[in-house]
Amino acid sequence: MNAAWKAGAAYFLLVFAAGFLLGTVRVMLLAPALGETIAVLMELPVMLAISWFTCRLLVQRFSVPATASARLAMGVGAFIYLMLAEAILAITLFGESLAQFIADFSDLPAQLGLAGQIAFALMPLFERTLAKR
């Protein structure tokens, strides 16, 4: 496994763990009080900041080359792991079918979350661009 894929796996694991903790707070405390959309909007910048700092740390730690292909491999790998983990959790913990998991993305809070997850996947490439400056 090359540096980009190893970094992607670590990136997924660290950000997923943080997201699991923050998601629990969002679902248990924020959403009932403020509504799901507002709760997601409050969680999203925190998760993006965690993703950014984790990405920067792991790019250095794993010496991920500053090529677009290596950085995309890191981000896309992390995104694939993330989507698989979320689908597995939805199916096993929440009793959803795969079709329901996919259908859930028609709701605004899930769309906001997906936009954040896509930003998470692109962060290694963004970090490459900013590091060149």
Q: What is the pLDDT of residues 105-123, one digit of tens each?
A: 999 999 999 999 999 999 9
Could you tell me the residue range of the domain that residue 70 belongs to?
3-131
**73: its two tokens:** 């491999």
Confidence of residue 129 (pLDDT cuts 50, 70, 90): confident
14-23 contacts, C-beta under 8 A, 24 or more apart: 14/54, 14/58, 15/47, 15/50, 15/51, 15/54, 15/78, 15/82, 15/120, 16/81, 16/82, 16/85, 18/47, 18/50, 18/54, 19/47, 19/50, 22/46, 22/47
State percent of the chain over pLDDT 90. Answer: 93
Q: What are 43-71's pLDDT values in tens digits?
A: 999 999 999 999 999 999 999 999 999 99
The rounded distance, in Å, linking the Cα atoms of 10 and 69 is 18
Confidence of residue 127 (pLDDT cuts 50, 70, 90): confident
| Mean local confidence (pLDDT), 20-30 | 95
Domain count, the chain: 1
